Amino acid sequence: MADAVLYEVTDGLATITLNRPDAMNALNTETKVALRDVLRQAADDPAVRAVLLTATGRAFCVGQDLKEHVASLAADRENGTRVTMDTVRDHYNPIVTAITRMPKPVVAGVNGVAAGAGAGFAFAADYRVVADSASFNTSFAGVALTADSGVSWTLPRLIGHSRASDLLLFPRNVTAEEARELGIANKVVPAADLAAEAEAVARRLAQGPTAAYAAIKESLAYGADHSLEETLAKEDELQERAGASEDHGIAVAAFLGKEKPRFVGR
C-alpha cells in the first residue's frame, strides 16, 4: 500500500488514513488510486465489519491536488488532449461508490478542513465525527467547477436542496458547530479527542450486526429516490434477509436470556 494512504485492520475495524500531511492530504493520483483500491479491499474482506476513514496532520483532505491539476491542464493544452478531468470517472466516482455501497458502516473522523472532494468523501460516509476545529467547504464554484465526488447526491440528502444550493453556489467555510446544526456532523468533539472518539464509534459499529447495517444502508439509499410502495417492498425484501441472519437469532436469544448480544456479523 502506498504511503499516501495507510491501512490497518484490527478486531473487525479497518482504519484508512490519508497520509499526506504536508500537502493537507490533497488528492494526487497516487493517493486517489490507493484510496480507491483500499476501500474496495475493505468492502471485499469478510474480516472487516466497519471502516474508519480519517487523516493525519491538520487537515482531513483539501480535495484535488491543484499543483498536479495545473500541470495536467498544461499537458492537455500542449498535447491537444482532454484527460485531466478523467479523474472524476476513474477515481472520484469509484471512491464515493465504494463508500456508499460498502456493505458495512463507514465512519469519517474529520480532524480538520474537508474541502472539495475531501468534503465529498466525508459526506458519503454513514457517520461523521468532527473535531471542533474542523470545517467543511464545497469549494468547487470557487475554481469554476461543478460538484463532483457525489456531493450533488449526498449533500442535499444531508441538509436539503436549498441549503445544499447555498453551499455550492456560495462556497464558504462551515464550522464544526454549524455543520452539526445543519446535519452534516453527527458528533462534534474537542480536537484532542477526535481520534479516540471516532475510533470508539467505529469500533462499536464493528461489533454490531454487520448484515443489518448493510441492509439499513441499502434501504436508506433506495428510499431516497423511490416511491413509498417500492420502498415498502424493498423493506420487506431486506427484512426477510435480516430475519434469517445468524445475528438476528443471536439478538433474540440474548434478549430472552436478558444478556448482551455478541454479534458475529452474519
Give the separation between CA 256 and CA 259, rounded to whole angstroms. 8
Give the separation between CA 206 and CA 204, rounded to whole angstroms. 5
Residue 261 lies in a domain: no
Averaged pLDDT for residues 19-23: 95
Beta strands 187-189; 13-18: pairing state = unpaired
Q: Which of 223, 216, 204 is nearest to 242 (CA)?
A: 216
Q: Which domain holds residue 245?
A: 210-256
Does one domain contain both 103 and 164? yes
Residue 265 lies in a domain: no
Higher pLDDT pick, 166 / 77: 166
Q: What backbone torsions phi and psi does residue 135 show, to the nearest 5 degrees?
A: -155, 165
Task: Categorize the per-residue pLDDT at 70 as very low, low, confident or very high, splitting at 50, 70 and 90.
Answer: confident
CA distances from 151 to 120, 165, 188, 191, 256 (A): 5, 11, 21, 25, 44
Report pLDDT for 1.
Answer: 46
pLDDT of 79 higher than 70:
yes
Give the separation between CA 90 and CA 97, rounded to whole angstroms. 12
Report pLDDT for 2.
Answer: 53
CATH number at residue 221: 1.10.12.10
pLDDT of 98 higher than 60:
yes
Give per-residue pLDDT as tens, 180-211: 999 999 999 999 999 999 999 999 999 999 99
